[in-house]
Amino acid sequence: MSDMTAARIHKEEPHLIPVKTPVHLEWLRRQRNRPLLMKYFRQTRPITKSQQKQWRKNLNRKNARLFIVAAGGRWIGYVGFNPIDWRHKHAEFGIFILPEFQGGGHGKAAMRLLLEYGFVKLKLHKIYSDVIDYPNERRFEFYRKLGFKKEGRNKEHYRKGGRWFDSIPFSMFKSKSKK
Ligand SMILES: CC(C)(COP(=O)(O)OP(=O)(O)OC[C@H]1O[C@@H](n2cnc3c(N)ncnc32)[C@H](O)[C@@H]1OP(=O)(O)O)[C@@H](O)C(=O)NCCC(=O)NCCS
């Protein structure tokens, strides 16, 4: 992709496409396996096609809302809730923006769409994520800028590459949402 294309897409407002088809799922699998993104996820190895198929089979669709983030006619990332706890009105979210489209405001814009969908349409009370605390972690700024608050620290919560990492739960409540 040329710099011109990235610059053009940086100006476009993103929108969300519900993940429905095998083409969507295969695209997500391939992107998640990119080393520049995979290092931020809980997965430690590339996801195979059969693992993806099994994951989809086990996915409780009532408790998940997954979206591809699109802008300027390109698929540029993912946002979604999984799982949603309907009884307690909370949901865990995930997000990624492809490295070539990061830093252009798409993450923030896509997250705002997801927050609006979660708080207004799904009527959730709380939206959260549990973020792995790598050394020199700067991504927390992203959550803070959106209005998420740090809830504490989960000690040695994830194991990656033979090492333990803490994680930081970030959350937002409906009453505190800027929407
Ligand atoms: C985190 C992520 C979604 C941010 O997406 P993005 O499109 O690059 O973010 P934006 O350009 O919308 O940035 C929004 C704000 O957060 C800040 N921000 C984003 N990523 C940041 C980082 N790594 N360090 C510091 N600040 C960051 C930006 O400076 C910006 O601030 P501003 O509003 O004052 O300009 C993206 O970097 C990503 O996909 N990372 C890898 C996967 C990941 O970490 N997912 C989340 C955990 S599962």
**How many structural domains are present in the chain?**
1
Residue 88: CATH number of its domain: 3.40.630.30
Q: Name the one residue in this structure whose structure tokens are 């089979």.
A: 57
- Using the predicted structure, report yes or no on whether residue 179 has a pLDDT greater than 80: no
45 in contact with ligand 1, CB cutoff 6 A: no
What residue owns the CA closest to ligand 1's atom 15? 142
Host domain of residue 144: 3-176
96 in contact with ligand 1, CB cutoff 6 A: yes
What does the block give as tokens for 62?
């009532």
Pairwise CA distance, residues 49 & 45, whole Å:
13
Decide if 171 contacts 127 (C-beta within 8 A): yes
In the three-class reduction of DSSP (H, G, I as helix; E, B as strand; rest coil), residue 156 is classed as strand
| Structure confidence at residue 1 as a pLDDT band (50, 70, 90) | low
Q: How far is the CA of 88 from the centre of ligand 1 (A)?
A: 29
pTM score of the predicted model: 0.92
Q: How far is the CA of 120 from the centre of ligand 1 (A)?
A: 24
Q: How far is the CA of 108 from the centre of ligand 1 (A)?
A: 7
* For the CA of 103, the nearest atom of ligand 1: 11
pLDDT digits (tens, 9 = 90+) for 66-121: 999 999 999 999 999 999 999 999 999 999 999 999 999 999 999 999 999 999 99
Which residues lie across from 85 on neighbouring strands? Answer: 90
Q: Name the one residue in this structure whose structure tokens are 């994951």.
A: 55
C-alpha distances (whole Å) from 19 to each of 67, 87, 138, 142, 146 are 5, 24, 29, 24, 24
**pLDDT averaged over every residue in the chain:** 92
CB-based contacts of 154, cutoff 8 Å, min separation 6: 130, 166, 167, 168, 169
Query: Which of 100, 138, 142, 148 most suits a substitution to test ligand 1, by most atoms within 8 Å of the C-beta?
Result: 142
